[in-house]
Each structure stands twice: as structure tokens, then as C-alpha cells.
Amino acid sequence: MTEYINWNGKIVEKDVFHISPDNRSFRYGDGFFETMKVVDGNILLAAFHITRFFSSLQLLSFDVPALFTPEYITSQVQNLVIKNKHSSFARVRLMVYRGNGGLYDPENLHPNFVIQSWPLEKTSKELNTNGLNIDIYTEARKTSDSFSMVKSNNYLGYAMAALWAKKNKLNDCLLLNAYDDICDSTVANIFIVENNIIKTPAVAEGCINGVARAYLIECCKKDDIAIMETTISAQDVLNASEVFLTNAIAGIKWVKQLGECRFNSPSVALQLHNDYMKNRR
């Protein structure tokens, strides 16, 4: 079956897409991406994705065209999933990248974009029954700066961590910042439960500003559930009663084991899943 992409607003066959070897994203990782879940033609947590999308454009100094509105971006995603016959249940990746040029002389600051979609299997809406087995990757350190929250096209640390996790037959692994504190995982944000308080690394610690993370924090604060954005050490994770991961595709996934440490059954994660993630829109 022919696979289509959306390339700068045009639906074309995937094989048509190309970039120059002078492309700044290819050379320097100059750009960012969004990963979204589409159900019945609608982007889940769309407002959070759109907010992060425009924040990333501004932070990375792109010249934002007038046609780049929330409605335009949403319609570009929807047009593609319809063309690929993925609109019922899909994973979508929207990548934005700078054009050609050297480090000091970009041709322009105009954002190019390419959107891809893949079908997702309809899985159970229940929390995962097989807890994840994860560990800590120590060969990379994330910086904690203005750009560390962005899903940058420079994803080397995460890519190496994912290879390490696969090699060691793990479901995922955690990355550290320069201070040896926990940032996030290769594909998700981390939450722990300690003394009935839900904790997650603050954005200042170097984690990705995840959409599911932001949504869950907003829901908990609205309902006066104790939640903190803070510094989390590796020992904090090991001492936690529960550990779970969140991202826009999977929602919440509970962690059963980190290294040799095993965690309790996910009572808090289950409640959060049922109250907020199970039927998120």
C-alpha cells in the first residue's frame, strides 16, 4: 500500500520526500517534533500539543508564517490520516526543520515541516497489567537549559539509551541530568509516589515538557491531588512506593521494576488512569 506524507502542506508519496545534505536539521539537529495520537480523526490533547508546538517555534527562533494557525496545523494532520486511511486510530509525527545553510548563515528562518502517520492497534483502555522493567542509563547526561524541554531533532542521548535498553531486554530506561538526577525516559516522563505525594522532575531538571505530563499535572492540581514538580534522585525512585511513565501515545504505564528494585501494585497510577487518561480527549 502506498504511504503518504504531508510535506509543507502537500500530500505526496513518502518516497518523494528529500532533503539536501546542506540541510541544517540533518547537519545540526536544527528543529523539533511532536508525536500525537489520533482517534476517530481527532488529535488527543490537541490544545496541549498546539501550545507546545508554537512555544517550540518561538523558542527556536523560527519566523512563523501567518498561515500557521492552530486550525491550519490540525487540518494538516487530519488531511494526512484520512489519505493514509489511519484516521480511526493512529500515531502521528509532525517534524519541523530549518532549511539549508551553515551554522552562522541559514538561508532563512522559515519552518519546513513533514507529517507522517502510522496505524495503531486498538488496545485495551485498561492500565497495563504487565509492569514495565526499566533501568537507568548512565552513558549520557541531559543539559538543563532553555532548550532541554523541547523535543529537539537532536535526539542522540535518547537514541543511544533506547539501543542500550533494547540490548538489555528492558522496556525503557531513565536518563540523568548533569547533576546525576533523573530527567525522563527515552519516550516518556516519569512520576513517582512517595508518602502519598506524586512527584515528577521539574522542567528545569532537563526533562521534555511532555503533553501527557502537563495534562496530568493540570488535572491533579484542579482536583487538589498532591503533586510536585521537583528534583528526583535515583535513590528517590528506588524508595518510591509506585513508579509510572506517561506519554501522549500510551497515557500512563506503570513500572514494576527498576534494576533489582520492585515496586508496589499501581493503586495511584490506576486511579489517575481511570479518572484522567482512560478517556482523554
Count up the domains in the chain and report the number.
2
- pLDDT beyond 90 at 144: yes
127: in domain: no
Percentage above 90 pLDDT, the chain: 95
- Which residue bears the cell 516518556? 188
Residue 26 belongs to domain spanning? 4-119
pLDDT class of 131 with cuts at 50, 70, 90: very high
- Which of 64, 88, 119 is a domain's end point? 119
What pLDDT was estimated at residue 121?
A: 87
Averaged pLDDT for residues 98-105: 96
What pLDDT was estimated at residue 279?
A: 85
Q: Are residues 198 and 271 in the same domain?
A: yes
44: in domain: yes
- pLDDT beyond 80 at 123: no
- Which of 119, 140, 168 is a domain's end point? 119
- Which residue bears the cell 537532536? 154
What pTM was computed for the model? 0.95
Asked if 116 contacts 5 with a C-beta cutoff of 8 angstroms, the reply is yes
248: in domain: yes
Q: Are residues 271 and 220 in the same domain?
A: yes
**102-134 as b/e: b if 16+ CB within 10 A:** eeeebeeeebbbbbbbeebeeeeeebbeebbbb
- pLDDT beyond 90 at 125: no
What pLDDT was estimated at residue 108?
A: 95
- pLDDT beyond 90 at 122: no
d(Cα 50, Cα 28) in Å, to the nearest integer?
25
Q: Are residues 181 and 261 in the same domain?
A: yes
125: in domain: no
Averaged pLDDT for residues 20-46: 96
Q: Are residues 137 and 273 in the same domain?
A: yes
- Pairing outcome for strands 172-177 and 182-185: antiparallel
d(Cα 93, Cα 34) in Å, to the nearest integer?
6
Cα–Cα nearest to 252, from 215, 212, 192: 212
Averaged pLDDT for residues 194-202: 96
Averaged pLDDT for residues 265-276: 95
